[in-house]
Structure 1
Amino acid sequence: METNNLIGIDLSFLDIATILVYFLAVFAIAWWASRRERSQNESADYFLAGRDVGWFVVGASLFASNIGSEHLIGLAGSGFAEGLPVAQYEILAGLALLMLGWIFVPFYLKSNVSTMPEFLEKRYDSKSRVYLSVVSIIGYVLTKISVTIYAGGIVFEAIGVNFWVGAFVLVVATGIYTIFGGLKAVVYTDMVQMFVLVGGALAVTFFGLQELGGWGKMTEVVDPEFFSLWRDAEDTNYPWTGILFGAPILGIWYWCTDQFIVQRVLSARDETNARKGTIFAGYLKMLPLFIFVLPGIVAYALVQQGSLHIAEPNDTLPVLAQAVLPVGLRGLVIAGLFAALMSSLSSVFNSCSTLITLDFYKKYKPTSTEHELVVVGQVSTVILVIFGLLWIPFMEYFSNQLFLYLQSVQAYIAPPITAVFLVGLFYKRLNSKGSITSLITGFVLGFLRFFLELYKDSLSGFWYELATINFLHFALLLFVICTVILIAVSLLTEKPDEEQIKDVVYRKAVDQSQVSERSIWWTLGLLGIIAFLWIYFS
């Protein structure tokens, strides 16, 4: 694999000091969080931060965990190449987070689950739980862990450190505080990393616009099409039909059902804090349009003026940072890249170890002590760290394109999971047979699409059309198929036990004590911002 696709950034002593201060701050916060007062439930402390996290930390952790290198590097590159449309995913995330807070959170907290597979078991049966656990763990290992380690090596390489040394440092450093601090260390370091991420990106945006001559100058130089969030239905990457109908399916899976994200909400001290945290995260997700995508358009405008040279889109952020940022602030941008990588990696380490411990070890050894569960979680994280280190030498045998394909697998496994969670909340007639049939069917069809896409150049006719249909359109089609199968099989088989599912299906009675007027107004405000962005940038 080529590792030199991110150009170097020249760093001064002040920049290096900024990066070192960032690392020291992260470890100091992790140490402080791990030393905080603990409850008697040791495993809840380790895996769910004692279920006592406030809304601000929940929201900041949701945002920081989500922001990876693909955001800082990829969104700027997409902005440079195509303009604003890629920001649709960030805007839609705001809607998905509102769904998480208002629709899913009450069920998750009332059922007192610790993992998303455990919730599926309460709603359906143990087969559905095992399916989701296995798919999630394999997905985390093959995509999130490997891609984040790879990106970390590239970032280190950009500042003059050997790729393999950099990847090793990233894995070990992140693994240390994740192993000893658990989710409490993860969410509190995420909070700090949120400020670093936003600060670094804001610096690039501000100085980039200043170098260009302001917003007005940018709109004069750049084609108006760059400032439109909407593309034709036939567009290869961002068809409006796929954005409106396909992307939300992936968004619900990622933001509302994935352990990687929802574990932060499960750590909230109550439903009110959990909901406020999701709303706060929704507001934060409006920022990437301006601080991640917009710098790409600024860079494009500077290239059009002849003030900048960019060889390929992925070079956009480092080239722009090198050109416009003063001494000291370049280090902040690099620290922001490390923040994105470490927050994502620590989150996936913790979430993966939680699934291994609670969905497998505790499930098959229910007499385990609290301390034993924590030790298993720590050992699981150590194994993941070792796997990550062992995985590094093999990365050179993988092409960048294959990594993109591995990432796309997530889009193909999402629709059936979204169906069994979302429809399952509102239609109590659905049963375990319908769930597992829908999940397996979706898995088979998703991987069929994956392999067809790998070999699309040798296909023709129907199979070629299936392999090349936009993945958002395919996600919508797969969701419809899985939903139909879920309902049909359930109706053709026995009814579920109503006593078993009473806490995991919708009831007309709503607990008004957990709904604050302020949350309603903040929700309406976020919806207003989304509507404004869609209209203004249309």
Structure 2
Amino acid sequence: MNSTTALHLVDWIIVVVFIVGSMSVGLFFTKRASRDVSSYFVSGRTLTWYICGMAWVAGGFASDTPLWVSALVRSQGLHYAWKYWAPVFGVALAAVLFARMWRRLGIVTDVELLENRYNTRVASFLRIWEGGFKALVYCPLVIAWVVKAMEVIGREAMGLPEEYQGWTTATVVGLGLIMCAMAGLWGVVATGAIQFGIATLGTILLAFMAVHHVGGFGVLVE
């Protein structure tokens, strides 16, 4: 293990507390999520907009995104961060313009919207195709590069020995799957909202610490 990146006991305690805390919050909603299909997949349609927003933004703190954004800023400059922020405006407009209509239809998934909107055999085929493509191709690819980013962070930032990386990644992914399977969207959104607060605070503190480490903004600009 690289001594410059090896974690100390207090670091591991923080990691364990964070994982256990996230699991506990998610599993707290297991009973609520198990009431019916609507409760499990769409939280009974009772989530507030700000909780949804925080949970959605928390996805931007996934292991792959900081690496990608850092690479963009380093290679292209700070202004290139807008490539990441640009979709936010589209999502916000979609929520404002279409949320009520989506709610009125009483649908659960976006592919269900396709069949309801066009109501033809072609639409039914499109729903099957879209659902199959996302389930078998798109989502596995997304999960793959997120897991790969987890391994990179585990190796470079946490100093995990190579022989432990696979087991560590499998354990974290397994715990996440268990929580999602038991708590449904309730657990995902609740943990996401809390992690949003933790990640935001941590990012702000890290920014101040990084600027202080290099000697202030003046040195950073130079």
The percentage of counterpart residues that share the same residue type is 19
Map Cα deviations across residues 308-360 of structure 1 (whole Å, 9 max, x no partner). xxxxxxxxxxxxxxxxxxxxxxxxxxxxxxxxxxxxxxxxxxxxxxxxxxxxx
Contact 1:152 1:166 in 2 (8 A): no
Q: How far apart are the structure 2 equivalents of 1:61 and 1:52? A: 14
Check the 8 A contact 1:61/1:194 in 2, yes or no: yes
| Paired residues for 1:264-413 under 5 Å | none
Matched, 1:67 2:69: no
Contact 2:40 2:185 in 1 (8 A): yes
RMSD (Å), alpha carbons: 2.2
Cα distance in 2 for residues equivalent to 1:94 and 1:37: 28
The change in CA–CA distance for 1:94 and 1:142 in structure 2 (over 3 A counts) is closer
1:88-237 equivalent positions in 2, closer than 5 A: 88-124=82-118, 125-158=123-156, 159=158, 160-161=160-161, 162-219=164-221, 221=222
For residues 26 and 173 of structure 2, the distance between their equivalents in structure 1, rounded to whole angstroms, comes to 16
Cα shift readout 1:63-108 (whole Å, capped 9, x = no counterpart): 1124322222221232222211431123312311221222222221
Cα distance in 2 for partners of 1:200, 1:132 equals: 38
Shift in Å, 1:54: 1.9
Report if the CA contact (8 A) 2:30-2:183 is conserved.
Answer: yes
Specify whether residues 147 and 126 from structure 1 end up closer, same or farther in structure 2 by C-alpha distance, changes over 3 A only.
same
SS at match of 1:95: helix
8 Å Cα contact 2:33/2:183 also seen in 1: no
Letter in 2 for 1:62: W
Distance of 1:82 and 1:89 partners within structure 2: 11
Q: What per-residue deviation string (whole Å, max 9, x for no partner) do you get for residues 241-291 of structure 1?
A: xxxxxxxxxxxxxxxxxxxxxxxxxxxxxxxxxxxxxxxxxxxxxxxxxxx
Bigger mean CA deviation after superposition, 96-105 or 43-52: 96-105
Whether contact under 8 Å (1:150, 1:167) holds in the other structure is no
Residue in structure 1 matched with residue 16 of structure 2 by the alignment: 20
Task: Tell me the TM-score normalized by structure 2.
Answer: 0.85
- Cα distance in 2 between the residues matched to 1:12 and 1:53: 39
Q: State the SS of the aligned residue for 1:35.
A: helix
Q: Distance in 2 between matches of 1:68 and 1:44?
A: 26
In proportion to residue count, which structure has more helix? 2
- Residues 117-158 of structure 1 deviation map (CA, whole Å, 9 limit, x = unaligned): 110111122122122212221233431121222222333334
**Paired position in structure 2 for 1:11:** 7
Counterpart code for 1:24: V
Distance in 2 of aligned mates of 1:136 and 1:197: 28
Aligned residues: 212
In 1, Cα distance between equivalents of 2:4 and 2:177? 26
> Which residue in 2 is equivalent to 1:33?
29
Q: Distance in 2 between matches of 1:15 and 1:156?
A: 13
CA displacement 1:222-252 (0-9 Å, x = unmatched): xxxxxxxxxxxxxxxxxxxxxxxxxxxxxxx
Asked if the contact 2:64/2:146 (under 8 Å) is kept, the reply is no
Among candidates 29, 41, 52, match of residue 58 of structure 1? 52
Gaps of 5+ in 1: 1-6, 222-538
CA gap of 1:60–1:113, structure 2 versus 1, over 3 A, is same
Task: Find the counterpart in structure 2 of residue 263 from structure 1.
Answer: none
Higher RCO (C-alpha under 8 Å, 6+ residues apart) = 2
For residue 38 of structure 1, report the CA deviation from its aligned partner. 6.3
Shift of residue 37, structure 1, vs aligned partner: 7.9
Given residue 91 of structure 1, which amino acid in structure 2 is its aligned partner?
A: W
Counterpart amino acid of residue 23 in structure 1: I
Normalising by structure 1, what TM-score? 0.37
Cα gap change, 1:48/1:30 in structure 2, threshold over 3 Å: closer, same or farther? same
Contact kept? 1:38, 1:50, Cα under 8 Å: no
Q: Secondary structure at the match of 1:22?
A: helix
Please list every run of 5 or more consecutive structure 2 residues that lacks an aligned counterpart in the other structure. none
CA distance in 2, matches of 1:152, 1:211: 26
Whichever of the two has the greater Rg, that structure is 1
Q: Report matched runs for 1:422-433 at 5 Å.
A: none
